Amino acid sequence: MCYEYNQRTIVMVDFENDIKNCIEVLQRGGVILYPTDTVWGLGCDATNEAAVDAIYRIKERGKDKSLIVLLAEARDVIQYVATPHPDIISINEQFETPTTVVYENALGFTDNLVAADGSIAIRVIKEPFCKALIKRYRKPIVSTSANISGQPTPAIFAMIDEAIKNKADYVVQYRQEDETIHSPSRLIKIFDNGEITVLRP
């Protein structure tokens, strides 16, 4: 049970059963279908090579196209990037909209998740369910849109293809009725020297 803040309204949200089921699936190398701060995504343990391979198969996506990783706290970035900028924690904490950051010199992820140049795309999550799940699981989780590669990204749960739903080992119940449309995250690259390049506004 947690509290979700929406302007002045405090809503009690119960997704404990979803969290428990997701952790069980993630621990055995399975794939979950879950809501993020942008769109619904397919996810797995970002340190499990076989689980990452499973997501590539479900999406029918080439392994040359890297996947995004979600973390619960800005301070966690320094654990998974070899040479982060000294101000990287405060930089992440200042983002007001969902922002995925491409970092050089990934550290601690399975090889099939890291780009050929050694970079990794990470987003520090604020969405209540994802944040709670990652904190409880204590590992980063993969996030990629819940669709076959090249097909339109489903904006809400109802738009996800049944084939994708059937291939996931667990489908989260929380927010299935939410029809709010969220934009994809902003995508930027932060180099070791602190230089920032906007890849997608």
Per the structure, how many domains does the chain have? Answer: 1
Is residue 162 in some structural domain?
A: yes
**CB-CB contact of 144 with 60 (8 Å):** no
pTM for this predicted structure: 0.91
Is residue 120 in some structural domain?
A: yes
- The pLDDT score that the predictor gives to residue 21 is 97
Is residue 18 in some structural domain?
A: no
Partner residues linked to 189 by β-bridges: 102, 197
Is residue 186 in some structural domain?
A: yes
The DSSP code sequence of 121-176 is EEEE--SHHHHHHHHHHTS-EEEEESS-TTSPPPSSGGGS-HHHHHHSSEE--TTT
Q: What percent of the chain has pLDDT over 90?
A: 82
Is residue 75 in some structural domain?
A: yes
* Owning domain of residue 62: 34-200
The SS3 assignment for 76 reads helix
Q: What is the CATH number of the domain that holds 91?
A: 3.90.870.10
Mean pLDDT estimate for the chain: 91
Is residue 164 in some structural domain?
A: yes
Question: What does the alpha-carbon distance between residue 155 and residue 117 come to, in Å, rounded to a whole number?
Answer: 31
Is residue 23 in some structural domain?
A: no
Q: What is the mean pLDDT of residues 28-48?
A: 97
134: left (phi over 0), alpha (psi -120 to 50) or beta: alpha
Is residue 111 in some structural domain?
A: yes
Q: What is the pLDDT of residues 111-159, one digit of tens each?
A: 999 999 999 999 999 999 999 999 999 999 999 999 999 999 988 999 9
